[in-house]
Structures are given as structure tokens and as C-alpha cells.
Amino acid sequence: MKELSFIHRFEPALTPDLPPLLLLHGTGGDENDLISLGKMISPGAALLSPRGKVLENGMPRFFRRLAEGVFDEADVKARANELADFIAEAREAYGLQAPVGVGFSNGANIAAALLMLRPEALAGAVLLRAMVPLSEPPKADLAGKGVLMLSGSMDPIIPAENSERLAEFLSESGASVKHTVLPVGHGLSQQDLSLTQNWFLNR
Ligand code: MLT
């Protein structure tokens, strides 16, 4: 098979017809990080897990930032397009329907950018600790796409107003958004797991 454009892991579906998951790690993670999470939240689904191409002091990410929470928006746009192209390549190579993006932190932010810039790339998304990736996003048509957003009321990185603004933008674009704010910080909790499992069961 021709080499695909991102280093990645692929786990074929054990249960056909479930949407594949596109797993997007946080800063400093890699393609292995979210595999076990993916298996728990949608058992049997195919898993496609790329490694972010940007390095920040050796730590992989999906786009460059100027400071914590301050993004290089030109890079966000270029990297979202590059990732959408990879998804299209991988769908063809592995015979996949459009995946549901499941991103944590920096991975959630690139998934939000994909929804804004290349909505055809994702069937929906789970955004764990996401923030607004682009200050002036273009209009996108997200009709028919479900988005689960889980934020933390004690998250030191993401102001409540910011994740709220992202949820509003996605609903105004037509996505069916469920945004829950948990009494936790930036890290994932047991509640993230159970709420995400339920969301997949009821999708
Ligand atoms: C980002 O850079 O995408 C956010 O600050 C989250 C993070 O990766 O720490």
C-alpha cells in the first residue's frame, strides 16, 4: 500500500457499520495515546489515529501555538486542511466511511478546526476540553452532524466563556451540540468516559 501522509495507527473494525473513530491526541501525545480510550467508547469501531506533525520542544501537536491558548491561526488552517486530506487518503486506503473525530485538548481543537474548515471530513465529533481554534471562522454547514463537547469548570487552560463560544458557533452552524461542563480540570475523568460511551450508544 502507498504510504499515507501522516504517521498513524489503524485498527480495523470488529463490528462492521459502526462509524470509524479518528483519534486526535493532546500536546505531547502520539498515535498510541487514545487507542484504549477509542476501544472503550465505541467497542468494535475502526480506529484511525494520526500523530500530529508539529513539534513543540519535541512534543507532537496538530498545529503551532504562540503561547498556551494563543494559536498561530495560519498554521491552524494549513494543518486542518492537511489533516482533512489525510482522512480522505485513509478512507480510500482502508475503505472507511467518514469518521467521528474524538479529540482531547490540542486534538479537540484541530477537530473543531476541521468542522469549521473541512466539514465533509468528519461525520461528527467528541471534543474533550476544546477551545475556539479560529477567531473568525468561515460559515460552515454542519447540519446532520452530532457534536459532544465536554469541558471542565476547573480547567486552568480554557476559560468557560471560550468553550461556550465554540459550542454556540457549532450549533449556529447547524450541528446538534451537547455541551456538558463537568466539575473537573483539564485532564480526563471517569465521567468523560461514561458520557462519551452513552453518546455513542444513543447516536
Ligand atoms: C492547544 O494548544 O491546543 C491548547 O492550548 C491545548 C493544549 O494543547 O494544551
In this prediction, residue 1 carries a pLDDT of 63
pLDDT digits (tens, 9 = 90+) for 145-166: 999 999 999 999 999 999 999 9
26-83, pLDDT tens digit by residue? Answer: 999 999 999 999 999 999 999 999 999 999 999 999 999 999 999 999 999 999 999 9
Q: 3.40.50.1820, 3.40.50.10740, 3.40.50.2300, 3.50.50.60: which CATH number matches 8-202?
A: 3.40.50.1820
Looking at per-residue pLDDT, the higher value among 200 and 2 belongs to 200
Q: Is 105 a catalytic residue?
A: yes
- Cβ of 42 below 6 Å from ligand 1: no
CA 27 to centroid of ligand 1, rounded, Å: 6
- Told to judge if 30 belongs to the known catalytic residues of this protein, a careful annotator would answer no
Q: Which of 155, 173, 179, 192 is catalytic?
A: 155
Q: Is there an atom of ligand 1 within 6 Å of 157 CB? A: yes
Substitution site in 59, 61, 68, 73 for ligand 1 pocket (most atoms within 8 Å of beta carbon): 68
Quick check: is 186 catalytic?
A: yes
The verdict on the CB of residue 49 being under 6 Å from ligand 1 is no
Cβ of 163 less than 6 Å from ligand 1: no
What are phi and psi for residue 58, nearest 5 degrees? 85, -5
Q: pTM value?
A: 0.98
Condensed to tens digits (0 to 9), the pLDDT of residues 117-127 reads 999 999 999 99
CA nearest ligand 1 atom 5, residue: 69
Catalytic residue among 105, 151, 163, 173: 105
Query: Which ligand 1 atom lies nearest to the CA of residue 27?
Result: 8
* Average confidence (pLDDT) over 134-146: 96
